[in-house]
Amino acid sequence: MKTLENLFHDELMDMYDAEQRITKALPKLAKAATCPKLKEALLTHLEETKGQIQNLEKVFKIIGEKPKAKKCDATVGLLEEGDEIATEFKGSPAINAAIISAGQKVEHYEIASYGCLREWAGLLGHKDAAQLLDENLEQEKAADEKLTELARSGDNEQARDGESEDQHQKDEEESEGRAQKSSRQRGSSSSAERTAPRSARMQKEKAGRS
């Protein structure tokens, strides 16, 4: 009869496969993204994912098993969807919003999986394993929150308004340029105002000497 220990080991192999697939998918999504901050977030999480794989290998060792991957059908499906989205929306103002959506679907699956694994590890008395799995879980939660932050900071609005990241950046640069020009004009005006009274005094003094 299957036990909780069997379930724990099975899910562990599932996530070991998932994380390895994700390390191959993240660079592709980062390349497809046009938002610099989104690219940075995806590549940062890539490095975290590599560390998560090492944590899973430590967990395998703790429970006396060799690291082994079992095909994670859920992750395969989610990543395939991400590939399709990146291809379909390439060059579209909605590309970053689409990538964030695909990324968060994966994050939510991982959060659910690591949450279960951590609790099961604790119930089975694998305290060190539970701590390692909790590290992975917290990183996934942070990654999901970062994607939400990016979506709210403008990527969703750009998708709605049909504005690309390049156009958004161009508009910001033009706005900044207008602000700087206005500032210089105010500075010149202020300088002229300060010079006028001084010039008048000099002319008056000159007239007095005459």
| Phi–psi pair at 167, nearest 5 degrees | -65, -40
Q: Is residue 133 scored above 60 in pLDDT?
A: yes
Q: Identify whether residues 19 and 109 lie together within a single domain.
A: yes
Structure tokens at 78: 């989610």
Q: Identify whether residues 102 and 186 lie together within a single domain.
A: no
Q: Identify whether residues 206 and 177 lie together within a single domain.
A: yes
CA atoms within 13 A on the CB side of 154: 13
pLDDT per residue as tens digits for the range 13-52:
999 999 999 999 999 999 999 999 999 999 999 999 999 9
| Structure-model confidence comparison of residues 17 and 186, the more confident one | 17
Go through the chain and tell me how many residues it has.
210
- For residue 193, give its domain range: 164-210
Q: Identify whether residues 92 and 147 lie together within a single domain.
A: yes
pLDDT per residue as tens digits for the range 95-128:
999 999 999 999 999 999 999 999 999 999 999 9
Q: Which of 35, 29, 53, 66 is nearest to 157 (CA)?
A: 35
Structure tokens at 97: 């919003």
Q: Identify whether residues 157 and 168 lie together within a single domain.
A: no
Residue with tokens 């989205």: 85
pLDDT confidence bin for 210, thresholds 50/70/90: very low
pLDDT of residue 198: 56
Q: Identify whether residues 16 and 86 lie together within a single domain.
A: yes
d(C-alpha 172, C-alpha 113), whole Å: 41
- CATH code where residue 11 lies: 1.20.1260.10
Q: Identify whether residues 153 and 205 lie together within a single domain.
A: no
d(C-alpha 96, C-alpha 75), whole Å: 20
Residue with tokens 């560390």: 51
Q: Identify whether residues 191 and 128 lie together within a single domain.
A: no
CB 166 within 8 A of CB 34: yes
d(C-alpha 29, C-alpha 44), whole Å: 12
